[in-house]
Structure 1
Amino acid sequence: MKNKKRFFISAIVGAALVSCGLAVSSNQANAATYSRAITKIAGNGNYAIYHNVSRKGTSGKFTSTKYFKYGQIQSKKSMSTKKGTFWRIIVDGHDVGWVNQNFFARNKISVANEVSLVKNFSYAFPTRDAINYVTNSQGTAVDPSKVYVSQAHVSTKETTVNYSYGKAKASVKVSVYNGQDASADKTPKKGFKTIKTWNGGSKGSSRNWNAAHHYRSETTSNTFRSNGLTLRTRLFQPRFVSLGYGQAGDAMGQVGVIPEGMTVSNGIFTTSMFTSSHDQHGHLVSYNLNALKSKYAAQNLTTMRWGTFKSYAKNIKVSTYIKLGHGQSLGSSSSYIYVLANDNEYNNGPKSEEVLQIRKSDMKINKIWTVRIASNRYIHNATFVGDNTMYALFHNGGYDNYEYWKLTRNGDSWDATEVGATKGRFVSNSPVQGFAYGNGNFYIGFNNNIFKVGENGTAKKHYRFNTKREIEGMSATGSRLYVQFAQRAELTSGKD
């Protein structure tokens, strides 16, 4: 009778997984193998990892989860034993070993600690954007769209939003403050001669990022020079920080292959990663450059030797699958990563934009604000300097100029002031691909081109490269400029 009961439960679990698009096979009533990987969420405790598992239990303890709790965790196998249920985990795409199910955050909903909105009758905040993750009783990530929320959107009234999924519950207080539209009052400075580049995706690639070379790892660094600025390779990134194409059984699983933005602060390099350029949700991946000295090794996460992988895994952190908007407008301080989660397909208008404050310690959303400069100033590019200052770039096509705005956080409000403007279009046929601020200067990136502009809008320098690769975000620390290129994702840096 006990065996029949065990088989019945296993059949129910298998049917539920099949309904989610995951085929389950099993030769034993207490074992399951999934055709595609499911996403698992780590809890707070540390647990042993084993080489082997059987009905009786585990053997071959060889490491601990403390090295892997901030990585992207997936699994395709589970086993029910006398010592509990164990899952074979894959971290950042690398097969690791068996761990007790208690390691995972089970029946949990993690949300931002606070949400603060500027009152705006033209914008309603989607309350699911505050979710870090949701898990079921096995610690498997659940699509946030399946979570019950007491109020799907909040616009102008303060409220408390409640979330629930099965036994999991959470709540967040949403406050609302009165904002005031700012006015553009700066006379644009003389700009650059308008040039042309290409529009759309990259026209070239790094040496090996192509079918002819089977997208294999790069082994030679690059040096790009123009007008006194020399950019050199600092880090070639992995194609995926997870299992690759078609191997994830849910939207939360695949990390990569498209980078959109980046930031560097205190040696921590963070980039946004998406599965599609049209996605609004994705992952942030942080690399500790102070520990990862090699320019090349990170490309080989799935195949590197165990000792090397263990060292790399503890110095790479991956966020859960969260709302990032376009993911191009990032910044960071010593403790937090900031994202302006805007909609790059929204041209201009009165909508608000979300600012996410994400803890570097665990890569979870800590706080969310919405901001608005004015009813006709929707921002597509921004960067952050410390915890209380954001610089925003607005292209005013009607007046053929670029405006530079400084937003200063005062309590829960972000107060905007125009600091400068530059006449012209810079590039006639390409959107801005990166925006950074350092040493009193703005850096504005387009395909193959970077423009240096003083804080008041004075045109200073034009750097023209010939990489034929999209710029995917920029960051500045003092006089050091960091530029990320696509195909293969490559972080470069140099002093201006």
Structure 2
Amino acid sequence: MLKGKKMLLTFVASAALVGGVFAISQSKVDAKSYSKAVTKIAGNGNYAIYHNVSKKGPSGAFSNTKYFKHGQIQSKKYVSTKKGNFWYIIVDGRNVGWVSQNFFARNQISVAQDVSLVHNSNYSFPTRDAINYATDGQGTAINPDRVNVSHSSVSSSRAGTTKVDYSYGKAKASVNVTVRSDTNEGITSAGASVKSGPKAVHTWNGGSKGSSRNWNQAHGYRSETSSNSYSGNGMTLRTRLFQPRFVSLGYGQAANAMGQVGVIPEGITVNDGIFTASMYTSSSDSRGHLVSYNLNAIKSKYAAQNLTTMGWSTFRSYANNIKVSPYIKLGHGQSLGSSSSYIYVLANNNKTANSTASEEIMQVRKSDMKINKIWTVKTWNGSSAYPRYFHNATFVGDNTMYALFHNGGRHQYEYWKLTRNGDTWTPEEIGATQSNFVTGSPVQGFAYDSNHNQFYIGFNDYIFRVAANGTYKGSHHFNTRREIEGLSVSGSTLYTELAQRAELMTTSTK
């Protein structure tokens, strides 16, 4: 009995000596394993992927990291060899193989290239919001809250530039945070003519009351095998893409929130066949992941659900056409838009009531899914006494944001256009509707259709059409009992994301 206790103590001490990494004896090499997967960040180089590894090094090269560098990369073990450390990587939730530690971005901090703040005495910018990722000496992602910053926040009450330094171990980075000088930027007049609207309809309160056929315990949340078609008042939504439950390892397998990608979608944008969804582990998170699917290459409605079981060559192709961002600030994640080169996110706080605070616009590069630039904007009707804090917005191109504001006191919806010139964003109210549209549900999708100069507004399983000047054009009820989790228009197609399971639907604009 005493001998058994001694052996247990020796094992625990050994674990402590390697910082929580357990040494497991194998026939060829000692692998150091983690009980839960850590998140790895790819570097710029391309490296071979191997089937095997021994003390002498790797063997059995069969693929290359170039197909997987923009996926969600995780690992539970690595080995030390004469040729360096090699990690067994898991990409988008699927076991792949052994790669050199040199593949990872080690001792690096990635931040936005520039931060530009609107002058606002009622707001300070949290500087960690500019972090894309930080890594240790092995290329493992570190929670952004653990990064040291020279300024935890920068007040936007005084014009000027503040250099913010970031550090973690040997990793260092810096960014200039500039407060713009025009104290009147964002102050305007809400003078649009109010158009009459429909009587509000009542819908349910809370999460989805329905699901796709297999998204339930009885069917084990297994993949869908048949598409859907939902019609309402002359509009029909048809399945374009069922998305994976996770684009990572699933519940309880990741070491922290950075690792799990899914299962909660909040917003979408589609441009030129690139479909991007914001994904969260919890609906209360302000950081999450953007997941982009190249619909020009992904033709199947169903296959993306099966990343862990599809054939290897098919998986390699899919992984090459699915990109996952680092764990970045997205706010509520419902206000998205995109251009040919960038994804835009109004990273707001949907729990905030009408506030004088500024709101962050994140410009994310499509090429590597990292934040490129951050602006803050404000919209006040005459003064700070009458702010417009937007919970819903969309972007058209690189210089235009359309935003939706619910003026609950007046039972109106207001439509705003913010136009960028350089770093300045100028707001203009372009329309308003005298209606609450719906009771029981907040707005869950907002999109602009340039072909018809109109907005689509989603609430639970309703979609309303409203001209840009506020004229009501009609509504569509689909009786899915599933929440809408984002709307987007690209060309002549309206895209709608449904919850449980995440399902991208399409219809022609009208």
TM-score (norm 1): 0.96
Q: Give, in angstroms, the shift of residue 187 of structure 1.
A: 2.3
Q: Is the 8 A contact 1:436 1:475 kept in 2?
A: yes
Q: Give, in angstroms, the shift of residue 227 of structure 1.
A: 1.8
Q: Give, in angstroms, the shift of residue 47 of structure 1.
A: 0.2
Identity of aligned residues (%): 69
- Residue 87 of structure 1: aligned partner: 87
**Structure 1's 436 and 16: CA in aligned 2 closer, same or farther, altered over 3 A?**
farther
Determine the C-alpha separation between the residues in 1 that align with 2:359 and 2:366.
22
- Residue 189 of structure 1: aligned partner: 195
Whether 1:407 and 2:410 are equivalent positions in the alignment is: no
Q: Give, in angstroms, the shift of residue 15 of structure 1.
A: 4.5
Spell out the pairing of 1:153-232 with structure 2 (5 A cutoff).
153-156=153-156, 157=158, 158-177=161-180, 178=182, 179-232=185-238
Partner deviation per Cα, 1:383-424 (whole Å, 9 max, x = no partner): 000000000000000111000000000110110000000001
Q: SS in structure 2 opposite 1:308?
A: helix
Q: Which runs of 5+ in 1 are unaligned?
A: 1-9
- Residue 350 of structure 1: aligned partner: 356
The residue type paired with residue 228 of structure 1 is G
Determine the C-alpha separation between the residues in 1 that align with 2:234 and 2:155.
49
Whether 1:360 and 2:358 are equivalent positions in the alignment is: no
Q: Is the 8 A contact 2:111 2:173 kept in 1?
A: yes
Whether 1:24 and 2:30 are equivalent positions in the alignment is: no
Determine the C-alpha separation between the residues in 2 that align with 1:492 and 1:15.
52
Determine the C-alpha separation between the residues in 1 that align with 2:443 and 2:168.
40
Partner deviation per Cα, 1:148-195 (whole Å, 9 max, x = no partner): 100000122420100011111000011111324122101210001210
Determine the C-alpha separation between the residues in 2 that align with 1:390 and 1:149.
31
Partner deviation per Cα, 1:82-139 (whole Å, 9 max, x = no partner): 1110000000000000000000000000000000000111111100000000000000
The residue type paired with residue 463 of structure 2 is I
Partner deviation per Cα, 1:286-344 (whole Å, 9 max, x = no partner): 00000000000000111111111000000000000001000000000000000000001
The residue type paired with residue 356 of structure 2 is P
Determine the C-alpha separation between the residues in 2 that align with 1:72 and 1:50.
19
- Residue 298 of structure 1: aligned partner: 304
Q: Give, in angstroms, the shift of residue 12 of structure 1.
A: 8.3
Spell out the pairing of 1:359-438 with structure 2 (5 A cutoff).
359-374=365-380, 375=384, 376-438=387-449
- Residue 276 of structure 1: aligned partner: 282
- Residue 55 of structure 1: aligned partner: 55
Whether 1:78 and 2:84 are equivalent positions in the alignment is: no
Q: Is the 8 A contact 1:434 1:471 kept in 2?
A: yes
Determine the C-alpha separation between the residues in 1 that align with 2:431 and 2:473.
14
Determine the C-alpha separation between the residues in 1 that align with 2:168 and 2:342.
29
Q: Give, in angstroms, the shift of residue 16 of structure 1.
A: 6.1
**Structure 1's 14 and 385: CA in aligned 2 closer, same or farther, altered over 3 A?**
farther
Q: Give, in angstroms, the shift of residue 235 of structure 1.
A: 0.1
- Residue 7 of structure 2: aligned partner: none
Q: Is the 8 A contact 2:133 2:144 kept in 1?
A: yes
Q: Structure 2 residue aligned with 1:466, among 455, 479, 485?
A: 479
Q: Which runs of 5+ in 2 are unaligned?
A: 1-11
Partner deviation per Cα, 1:215-260 (whole Å, 9 max, x = no partner): 0000000111112211110000000000000000122100001000
Determine the C-alpha separation between the residues in 2 that align with 1:431 and 1:369.
26
Spell out the pairing of 1:330-345 with structure 2 (5 A cutoff).
330-345=336-351
Determine the C-alpha separation between the residues in 2 that align with 1:174 and 1:344.
25
**Structure 1's 15 and 442: CA in aligned 2 closer, same or farther, altered over 3 A?**
farther
- Residue 442 of structure 1: aligned partner: 455
Spell out the pairing of 1:257-276 with structure 2 (5 A cutoff).
257-276=263-282
- Residue 135 of structure 1: aligned partner: 135
Spell out the pairing of 1:94-133 with structure 2 (5 A cutoff).
94-133=94-133
Q: Is the 8 A contact 2:186 2:377 kept in 1?
A: no
Superposition RMSD in Å: 1.5
Determine the C-alpha separation between the residues in 2 that align with 1:12 and 1:418.
65
Instruction: Give aligned pairs, total.
Output: 484
Partner deviation per Cα, 1:250-293 (whole Å, 9 max, x = no partner): 22100001000000001000000000111101000000000000
Q: Is the 8 A contact 1:163 1:169 kept in 2?
A: yes
Determine the C-alpha separation between the residues in 2 that align with 1:479 and 1:155.
43
**Structure 1's 57 and 11: CA in aligned 2 closer, same or farther, altered over 3 A?**
farther
The residue type paired with residue 308 of structure 1 is T
Determine the C-alpha separation between the residues in 2 that align with 1:99 and 1:13.
24
Determine the C-alpha separation between the residues in 2 that align with 1:270 and 1:25.
40
Determine the C-alpha separation between the residues in 1 that align with 2:16 and 2:69.
27
Q: Is the 8 A contact 1:115 1:369 kept in 2?
A: yes
Q: SS in structure 1 opposite 2:390?
A: coil
Q: Is the 8 A contact 2:363 2:373 kept in 1?
A: yes
